[in-house]
């Protein structure tokens, strides 16, 4: 299925909605029936037909079809946050007494789920260096049920060879989950490489307008229907019809947005790599990245994130660089239209996170602005380090 068809036509059901070009937003909690017989019949398929919005809503259903198709999966669930998607996906695979192997340095709240939350239910986790697939094989125990990957992660962009690792997992009947947020569904499709479940923080590229927090899990129809009936309906972290409508609108332009952000990021990375004030550039498609061949093997192109280690004498130097940027907003998150800067030294005050990186590390997200203007801005701010 081509991307244009998915974005503009798949799942639209326009004949049922007066030929409405934009899909209606079904802002309703419940759906009514004329007879007991009809209600009884509809209740047999409450996760597949309109009955109650937590289980099924037509606006959300349109979005689910498009997201599944983009990820080359049979089905998808949309959650009220990426973290809800991570938690539901993991909990759909493991039970008390099971063991998880997770790539080291996953997204902060994924790490918290495994080390601070699931441990309460007797689920243990081993974190491994993901650069060599053998490390996963070595960490497998009798009770290992899940391998959790994030390729690349969203701070330093280490990658894992998804095809090699899923091969190891399949041989031992272990489920593999991949957090694919960095790539969006356009630049990497882990299901094609053997992954069982692929998830996204939809707050990033999928919605793309920095106005909705949401998450997505994609997988086989069987796994997704089971997750709907169990984790999704029980924990109840559903997306609202309004937000689903906004995400559908954001999704229309995902190809343009992802490609523009990727092209500009490449330009900015080239500039930064040569700049005398930059000690190190972290970017998957950097010519100096030891994992460049793996990046080329499994990703179509880089995403809009990169991080830099600045040659500064002290934190004040890093602060002067950040404070003097005019085109970048200082904020967390990424994947929207706006370019962002996130200085890791700001994490010092956080109770939730320990900063795993050098104090002079700064993460940049390159949005949809003119790349030359962003480079000019970076140049003047680097002069102030």
Ligand X SMILES: *Cc1c(COP(=O)(O)O)cnc(C)c1O
Which residues sit at the interface with ligand X, rule CB under 6 A? Answer: 81-83, 86, 107, 150, 154, 179, 181, 201, 203-204, 213, 215
Name the residue number minimizing CB distance to ligand X.
82
Kindly tell me which of 154 and 265 has the beta carbon lying closer to ligand X: 154
Instruction: Write down the least CB distance from residue 332 to ligand X, Å.
Output: 8
Q: Least distance in Å: CB of 80 to ligand X?
A: 9
Considering the complex, state which of residue 89 and residue 278 has its C-beta at the smaller distance from ligand X. 89
CB of 25 to ligand X, least distance (A): 21
By beta-carbon proximity to ligand X, the closer residue of 215 and 367 is 215
Q: Name the minimum Å distance from CB 334 to ligand X.
A: 7
The smaller minimum CB distance to ligand X, of residues 145 and 204, is found at: 204
Q: In whole angstroms, how close is the CB of 214 to ligand X at the nearest point?
A: 6
CA dist., res. 127 & res. 361, Å (int): 23
* Min separation Cβ 232 and ligand X, Å: 15
Q: Which residue lies nearer to ligand X by CB, 73 or 278? A: 73
Q: How far is the CB of 116 from ligand X (least distance, A)?
A: 16
Q: Which residues contact 94 (CB under 8 A, 6 or more apart)?
A: 100, 118, 123, 145, 146
Nearer to ligand X, 57 or 154 (CB): 154
Q: What is the dihedral of CA 98, 174, 291, 202, to 10 degrees?
A: -80
Q: 263-294 burial, b for 16+ CB within 10 Å, e for fewer?
A: ebbbebbebbbeeebbebbbbbbbeebebeeb
Least distance (Å) between residue 107 CB and ligand X: 4
Cβ closest to ligand X, residue 116 vs residue 170: 116
Q: Which is nearer to ligand X, 144 or 203 (CB)?
A: 203
3-state secondary structure the chain: CCHHHHHHCCCCCHHHHCCCCCCCCCCCCECCCCCHHHHHHHHCCCCCCCCECCCCCHHHHHHHHHHHHHCCCCEEEEECCHHHHHHHHHHCCCCCCCEEEEECCCCHHHHHHHHHHHHHHCCEEEEECCCCCHHHHHHCCCCEEEEEEECCCCCCCCCCCHHHHHHHHHHCCCEEEEECHHHHHHHCCHHHHCCCEEEEECCCCCCCCCCCCCEEEEECHHHHHHHHHHHHHHHCCECCHHHHHHHHHHHCCHHHHHHHHHHHHHHHHHHHHHCCCEEEEECCCCCCCCCHHHHHHHCCCCCCEEEEEECCCCHHHHHHHHHCCCCCEECCCCCCCCCEEEEHHHHHHCCCCCCCCCCCEEEEECCCCCHHHHHHHHHHHHCCC
CB 146 within 8 A of CB 100: yes
Smallest separation (angstroms) from ligand X to the CB of 71: 15
Residue 305 CB, shortest distance to ligand X, in Å, is 9
Q: Which is nearer to ligand X, 82 or 336 (CB)?
A: 82
Q: 26 or 109: whose CB is closer to ligand X?
A: 109
């Amino acid at each position: 299925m081509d991307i244009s068809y998915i974005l503009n036509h798949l799942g639209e059901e326009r004949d049922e909605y007066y030929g409405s070009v934009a899909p209606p937003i079904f802002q309703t909690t419940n759906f009514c029936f004329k007879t007991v017989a009809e209600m009884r019949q509809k209740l047999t398929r409450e996760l597949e037909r309109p009955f109650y919005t937590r289980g099924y809503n037509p606006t959300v259903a349109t979005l689910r079809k498009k997201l599944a198709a983009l990820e080359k999966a049979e089905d998808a669930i949309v959650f009220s946050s990426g973290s809800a998607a991570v938690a539901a996906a993991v909990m759909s695979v493991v039970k008390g007494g099971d063991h998880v192997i997770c790539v080291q340095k996953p997204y902060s709240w994924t790490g918290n789920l495994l080390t601070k939350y699931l441990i309460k239910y007797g689920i243990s986790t081993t974190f491994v260096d993901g650069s060599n697939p053998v490390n996963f094989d070595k960490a497998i125990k009798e009770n290992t049920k899940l391998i959790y990957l994030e390729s690349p992660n969203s701070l330093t962009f280490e990658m894992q060879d998804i095809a090699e690792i899923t091969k190891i997992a399949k041989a031992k009947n272990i489920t593999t989950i991949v957090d694919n947020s960095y790539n969006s569904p356009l630049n990497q499709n882990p299901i094609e490489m053997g992954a069982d479940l692929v998830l996204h923080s939809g707050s990033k590229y999928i919605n793309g307008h920095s106005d909705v927090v949401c998450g997505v899990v994609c997988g086989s129809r069987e796994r997704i229907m089971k997750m709907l009936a169990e984790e999704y309906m029980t924990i109840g972290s559903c997306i609202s019809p309004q937000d689903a409508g906004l995400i559908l609108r954001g999704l229309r332009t995902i190809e343009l947005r992802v490609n523009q952000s990727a092209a500009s990021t490449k330009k900015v990375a080239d500039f930064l790599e040569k700049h005398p004030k930059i000690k190190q550039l972290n970017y998957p498609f950097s010519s100096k990245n030891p994992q460049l061949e793996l990046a080329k093997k499994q990703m179509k192109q880089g995403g809009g994130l990169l991080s830099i280690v600045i040659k500064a004498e002290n934190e004040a130097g890093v602060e002067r660089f950040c404070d003097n940027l005019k085109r970048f907003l200082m904020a967390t998150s990424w994947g929207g239209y706006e370019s962002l800067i996130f200085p890791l030294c700001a994490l010092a005050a956080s109770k939730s996170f320990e900063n795993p990186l050098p104090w002079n590390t700064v993460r940049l997200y390159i949005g949809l602005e003119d790349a030359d203007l962003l480079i000019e801005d970076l140049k003047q701010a680097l002069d102030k380090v």
